[in-house]
Amino acid sequence: MNTKTILIIIVVVAVLAVGGYYVYQNNGLGTPAGQTNSTDQVQAQDVTVGTGIPASPGTVVSILYKGQLADGTVFDSSEMHDNEPLVFQLGAPGIIAGFQIGVNGMKEGGKRTMQIPPSLGYGGEDIKDPEGNIVIPANSTLIFQVELVKVEAPQAETPQGNE
């Protein structure tokens, strides 16, 4: 092959690679037409937009909440815990992914309704109370009403001194 033919082949391969990547990134091949993966996303609706520092990974948030199943059954709430807010570090383990995703970006005083699919909630696992009664059936969509009471910026790490 001569240099001109090799150059043409390289250009064609590059165009195909870039075009294929573009189609893949824009869901041309990944999801059939008319279908979306919205069942694996948290749906959130702000009732009241708060002010102040937005909740982001690493911040410590204080939340008042009510958790319900799709049929309206309340399975947990701040009210059940003497109206004490749930306090946790956003992004730390121990809180279901969908709840953390839904709280991310809220500001103090904000109120939001979130619908969390099973894949970002408890999945195929039944959640039971201490007596063994099922409180959240497997594969349940969870609905939360949350109020962000407080956002605390993460504490800056103090450098270790040279001793």
d(CA 115, CA 99): 9
Cβ-in-10-Å burial (0-12, 13-18, 19+) of 6 comes to: exposed
How confident is residue 24, by pLDDT bands cut at 50, 70 and 90? very low
pLDDT at 28 over 50: no
pLDDT of residue 40: 81
pLDDT tens-digit series, residues 85-124: 999 999 999 999 999 999 999 999 999 999 999 999 999 9
pLDDT of residue 5: 65
pLDDT tens-digit series, residues 30-70: 333 333 344 589 999 999 999 988 999 999 999 999 999 99
pLDDT of residue 85: 96
Query: What would the two tokens of residue 129 be?
Result: 């109370």
> What CA–CA distances, in Å, run from 3 to 8, 9, 10, 15, 67?
9, 10, 11, 18, 68
d(CA 45, CA 116): 12
pLDDT at 19 over 50: no
pLDDT of residue 53: 85
pLDDT of residue 152: 94
d(CA 119, CA 105): 21
How confident is residue 9, by pLDDT bands cut at 50, 70 and 90? low
pLDDT at 149 over 70: yes
